[in-house]
Amino acid sequence: MNPRSLCAIVLALALPALGQTEPQLEPLVPPSVQKNKKKPKRKPPDKKAPSEQAQALDAAPQGQEPSALPPLAPLTSSRRLDAVGVLVLGALPDEAAVRVGNGIRAAVKLAPGVKEVSALDAPHPCADKACWVTAGVARSVHHVVVATYAARRLKIRLVDVKARKIVQQANRREVSSDPAEATAWAEALVCKLLVPAGCTGEAVVQGGEGIALQLDGVPLAPGEKRRVPVGVHVLRVKEGARESVRPLPVLVEEAPMVTIEAPKVASATPPPAPVVPIAPLVEPVTPPPAPQAAAIEAAPLPPAPSRKWTRPAGYAAVGAAVVAAGVGAYFGAKSRSDLNDAESTYRANGNAYTPASLDKLRSGNSAGHTANALFIASGILVAAGAALTFAF
């Protein structure tokens, strides 16, 4: 090979390699030595995002400059609560269930972003998420607040209709079925789940004379309006040596005044002695005797009219009744005899009537009818005779 060609090939291969340069490495010097170095000028912070700069400064460790990274977006979107439905289920009485539903709707309206709150209808029983979601879909709401009451336990659930799942829940044990107490606890649980700032209501108690009041251990003046969190509070009533404790429901909207009167106590002092009348100094004037009423002679009563013909007529009617009964008995016996003879002849002749047996049959029936008529007439005569003898 020509030496010039060989040199040209070698130069062609070596020139690209000579054109590559290695990056310059920084020396491993501790940070304390680098303090003397001149720091590059830092770009002033953006005035449009002060909160983001503050977050970056708080997140940077000591001794290092904060990085200018943008803030991270939340992983989940905020929950929409603009349309909420309320469903009250369980063993509450009708009056208590209606009042609890109204109280829950009043508490839900205090939640941020809520625009519409409506009562939902559901078939009975409705104890699963599918039924709750169906009730929410029927009213086009985004969330359903379900309140259930069973075995003195009140439970509040927040159901996401679109996701078909329970997102939040809270419960309270030993809840009375009293409408006011059940409503107060339901509002307290709803506010705990949906209202970050909490819900408050007014407590007003009017006490009688000599009564000391304490609300949750704090003295309460009679008639004082005090704002406390919704729920059931403890009201302590003290009168002298006697002391009692009672629950005091506090609601979001309603603020009824509770009046506690002092019971009537028997006085230890005896009643005053009766006043004895004093005799007058002047002798009383005796009124003149009233004139005797003239004696009025009673006129003699007219003699009772004598019964001339009714009693004999009654006796005669009774006698005729006896005679009619006797004749009726005769015809009854004759009818029985003739019918028996006709029946025996009928059987003896091979279950066929002869002319003689037919005559006996007719005679027996006629005698029976006569006997019945005589018995009826006898009864009528007996009744008439008794009336004529005793009534007239």
Residue 56's pLDDT is what?
42
Contact 169, 190 (CB under 8 A): no
CA 325 – CA 333 distance, rounded (Å): 12
At 64, the amino acid letter reads Q
All residues at 6 or more sequence positions from 216 whose CB lies less than 8 Å from its CB, including other chains: 228, 233, 234
CA distances from 82 to 79, 108, 288 (A): 9, 10, 98
For 228-280, write each residue's pLDDT tens digit. 999 999 999 988 888 889 899 999 987 667 777 655 433 334 455 555 454 44
Task: Say how far apart CA 12 and CA 129 lie, in whole Å.
Answer: 79
Q: Residue 310: is its pLDDT beyond 50?
A: yes
pLDDT category at 351 given cuts 50, 70, 90 is confident
Instruction: Indicate the average pLDDT of the chain.
Output: 76
Express as a percent the part of the chain with pLDDT over 90: 31
Average pLDDT over residues 51-67: 43
Residues in the chain: 392
Is residue 365 within 8 Å of 334, Cβ to Cβ?
no
Residue 32 has pLDDT above 70, yes or no: no
For residue 40, pLDDT beyond 60: no
Predicted local confidence at residue 33, as pLDDT: 46
**Among 264, 369, 385, residue whose Cα is nearest residue 314:** 385
pLDDT of residue 7: 60
Render pLDDT for 101-129 as a digit per residue (tens, 0 to 9).
Answer: 999 999 999 999 898 999 998 888 888 99
